[in-house]
Amino acid sequence: MRLLTAGESHGRELVAIVDGVPAALALSPGDIDPDLRRRQLGYGRGARQRIERDAVSIVGGVRQGRTTGAPVALVIPNRDAVNWERVMSVEPVPDPPPAVTRLRPGHADLAGALKFAHEDVRDVIERSSARETAARVAAGAVAKVVLRRVGIEVRSETRAIGDVESTPTFDAAAVESSEVRSADRAASERMVAAIAKAREAGDTLGGIVALRVSGLVAGLGSSAQWDRRLDGRIAQALMSIQSAKGVQFADAFVAAREHGSAVHDPITVERGRFMRTRNRAGGLEGGMTNGEDVLVDVAFKPISTLMKPLPSADLRTGAPSPAHVERSDVCVVPAAGVVAEAMLAFVLADALLEKFGADNADDLAAAVERYRARLAPIDQRR
């Protein structure tokens, strides 16, 4: 599967093209819109989310409620675009709006302006903005439909916001009813309080999202070539999310300080299946799934647009100047969990189709079933 997204944060609409989706999958906006809604929620979100009512139009790849095997094309209108018509006009306007030139540390502003020779940072902001993640979430929802066809499920939960931590249980009902997407009620309250305090101070907060994938088969990805290793592919996709600064599988940074005997997961056989007595590998060995749940965390830095801006400089003159301030969020970690689910689902669906065939969803399901039947220990297969 391949994904391309296009569209500006304040342009008319966002676009996603998902290529390589198998035919014969039931797919409708009802499979996508709930995730778009979840991405908009979370304590600490900015005023933009009160303007948008993200909903997808499927404009390619689906007919009579089923995928055809053609590229799935998705469009999400930006309701806010009506307020940005002059700024975002495709045609030149007679008196263009003032350029943004005060660079925000932590954002794409400086590197992007230098790279593309932009004199208006707006030309960088519009595409680097995390608004683009709405298109990713729509595409990820399609990937989740592929995964669900063979019983694979991706979940996320907030592990930390600022210095407030919790231990994820992935209890979906409790997570989705929390304003910060943590199933731990007491931790949720402390996370909300920490975000409120950061907002009062004109500051922002980051955090950690935990992801768990269940229902997997062993053998997705490959140890045979560096760029087929699934842990690398997952890390790349998660690291590509706006604000992501780190990825770890299970508790990798703790395990790195321990002995091998404490870290590797003993193999047992239960009810005719290979099992592990623990899962410190995070479900991946040798760049392949090992059949256990995939466990992966993503660290998100605090949002870089600060209401009390850091010292910075002007792009055109180089003169010292506080960073540009514009409407933004205080904390996006709850929403980032939904985006991370989408990216993880996308990579796993891609790996699944690569192994089992991407043409038709029924063929795919039959191939996975056959494979599952042959995964028993050798002497139990006879």
Residue, CB closest to ligand EPS: 129
Pick between residue 87 and residue 294 the one whose CB is nearest to ligand EPS.
87
- Alpha-carbon distance of 346 to 249, in angstroms, equals 17
Pick between residue 62 and residue 205 the one whose CB is nearest to ligand EPS.
205
Q: Give the H/E segment covering residue 347.
A: helix 333-356
- Alpha-carbon distance of 16 to 138, in angstroms, equals 8
DSSP assignments along 115-153, one per residue: HHT-SSTHHHHHHHSGGGHHHHHHHHHHHHHHHHTTT-E
Pick between residue 80 and residue 189 the one whose CB is nearest to ligand EPS.
80
Question: What secondary structure letter does DSSP report for 307?
Answer: S
Residue with tokens 């410190």: 280
Which residues on adjacent β-strands are paired with residue 211?
Answer: 156, 296
Residues that bind ligand EPS (CB under 6 A): 9, 46, 48, 80, 129-131, 133-134, 303, 305, 327-329
Pick between residue 158 and residue 290 the one whose CB is nearest to ligand EPS.
158
Pick between residue 138 and residue 352 the one whose CB is nearest to ligand EPS.
138
Residues 11 and 88 sit within 8 Å (Cβ to Cβ): yes
Closest listed residue to residue 207, CA positions, set 198, 216, 215:
198
What are the Cα distances from residue 239, in Å, to 62, 81, 162, 168, 221?
30, 28, 19, 21, 18
- Alpha-carbon distance of 158 to 177, in angstroms, equals 12
Pick between residue 288 and residue 339 the one whose CB is nearest to ligand EPS.
339
